[in-house]
Amino acid sequence: MTDRPIKWDKSYYSFTGFRDPDEDLEHVSKMETTLASWLDSNGKRAIKKLENSLPLRKELDRLKDELSHQLQLSDIRWQRSWGLAHRCSQLHSLGRLAQQNLETLKNAKGCTVIFTDRSGISAVGHVMLGTMDVHHHWSKLFERLPSYFDLQRRLMLLEDQISRLLGDIQVVYIEELQPVLTLDEYYSLLDVFYKRLLKKRVPFHPQSLRGLQMILNSDRYAPSLHELGHFNIPTLCDPVNLQWFFLTKAQQARENMKRKDELKVMEDELIQASTKKFSLEKFYKEPSVSSKQMVDCCKRLLGQSLPYLQGMHLCVSHFYSVMQDGDLCIPWNWKNGDTMK
């Protein structure tokens, strides 16, 4: 047996959407370069890739619009950063299935479809299509959607019952911050927590926590307050300790939520201003980049002159990269010449 790490071919990372660790190490080593010099070195290459990708981008938009209209979907999304060719291929697969079994697929009316690693229904009710699954698995999932909708209604009722027991705090599931759970897994999590609350009924004044939010976590041992204003509550938390924690942290939670809302408004305004100033075709960020980081990045960008960005797709991330379809990734905390001196 060898203890050497497995070295996958580059095509593996392109197909699966996973990060290439070799590229990540390369990105880290280049982190200290300046934004202007990096754009100067990579701008032309990105423009060429972007130009080559335009037909595929049009094809992707066409397929997405057609399927969304045909199946009356709310949206179609991807969990990973697959390239345009793979996204088009996935939509073609869904399109062929729609041709074969249209009435069954219409069960997804009003839903959001997400191409991801496994098939099922997400905690928030999105239809997840595993990209490695065959059509048979997808068909079975669409057939079972009515039963999942019933489970979703029971889940929402369970959230309301927990809310009433805890001073009308809102129980939420935040996709960007929580592990990916199926509807069944999330229902089980809520059910365990609800039964613990019933065993130790702790009196909360009605509506005392109205306007506040909490998420449930199975991998935490102590409650905490997130900087965005929501409470992180362990499923197996003692309800008695929970009461004291809510009471002492409620005011801070309200202040955090207010600051989060103000930050989001500022972020949207700065994204709009940056898009306009640099004539960007698209400007977005990775989910792992916070609003605070995005605001800091945009403020500094607006003070620069960056002609290479005109007409480009710019993504704020944690490293520099030219994606296979021409999108430019820059770290939110990019360096300029002044900070390097």
* Band of residue 215 on the pLDDT scale cut at 50, 70, 90: very high
Q: Is 248 helix (H, G, I), strand (E, B) or coil?
A: helix
Q: Which of 3, 31, 121 is CA-nearest to residue 319?
A: 31
CB proximity list for 283: less than 8 A, separation 6 or greater? 271, 274, 275, 313, 314
Residue 79, pLDDT score: 86
- Furthest CA-CA distance within the chain: 65
Eight-class DSSP state of 58: H
**Residue 84 to residues 59, 90, 131, 246, 315, Cα–Cα distance (Å):** 9, 10, 14, 46, 16
Integer-rounded Cα Rg, in Å, for the chain is 23
Which pLDDT tens digit goes with each residue over 96-119?
999 999 999 999 999 999 999 889
Residue 277, pLDDT score: 96
Residues 94 and 81 sit within 8 Å (Cβ to Cβ):
no
Q: Which of 109, 121, 180 is CA-nearest to residue 147?
A: 121
* Band of residue 3 on the pLDDT scale cut at 50, 70, 90: low
- In terms of pLDDT, which residue wins out, 340 or 128? 128
Which pLDDT tens digit goes with each residue over 242-283?
888 998 999 999 999 999 999 999 999 999 999 999 999 999
The rounded mean pLDDT for the chain is 90
Instruction: Report how far Cα 106 is from the mean position of its chain's Cα atoms.
Output: 25
pTM: 0.82
Query: Residue 51 has which token pair?
Result: 């130009």
Extended strands (E) in the chain: 75-78, 112-116, 120-121, 127-130, 170-171, 213-217, 224-225, 231-234, 282-285, 313-317, 321-322, 328-331
Which pLDDT tens digit goes with each residue over 272-313?
999 999 999 999 999 889 999 999 999 999 999 998 899 999
Average pLDDT over residues 14-24: 64
CA–CA dist 296, 263 (Å, integer): 11
Instruction: Report how far Cα 122 is from the mean position of its chain's Cα atoms.
Output: 13
Which pLDDT tens digit goes with each residue over 192-213?
999 999 988 888 888 889 999 9
Half-sphere exposure of residue 205, counting CA atoms within 13 Å on the CB side?
6
Dihedral sign from CA coordinates of 163, 169, 173, 177: negative
Alpha helix stretches (DSSP H) within 144-230: 145-165, 183-199
Half-sphere exposure of residue 104, counting CA atoms within 13 Å on the CB side?
17
Please name every residue paired with 170 in a beta bridge, in sequence order, or none if there are none.
213
Q: Is 55 helix (H, G, I), strand (E, B) or coil?
A: helix
Query: Residue 290 has which token pair?
Result: 């916070």
Query: Residue 32 has which token pair?
Result: 């200290």
Please name every residue paired with 283 in a beta bridge, in sequence order, or none if there are none.
314
Residue 133, pLDDT score: 82
Average pLDDT over residues 311-325: 94
Which pLDDT tens digit goes with each residue over 156-194?
999 999 999 999 999 999 988 888 899 999 999 999 999
Residue 27, pLDDT score: 54
Phi, then psi, of 55 in degrees rounded to 5 = -60, -40
CA–CA dist 280, 277 (Å, integer): 8
Residue 263, pLDDT score: 96
Tell me the CA end-to-end span of the chain in Å, nearest whole number.
49
Residue 340, pLDDT score: 43
Q: What percent of the chain stands above pLDDT 70?
A: 89
Residue 339, pLDDT score: 47
Residue 165, pLDDT score: 93
Average pLDDT over residues 30-40: 81
Residue 124, pLDDT score: 93
Q: Which of 290, 291, 289 is CA-nearest to residue 317?
A: 289
Residue 44, pLDDT score: 92
Per-domain boundaries in the chain: 251-334
Instruction: Report how far Cα 180 is from the mean position of its chain's Cα atoms.
Output: 10
Q: Which of 189, 202, 192 is CA-nearest to residue 239?
A: 202
Residues 124 and 177 sit within 8 Å (Cβ to Cβ):
no
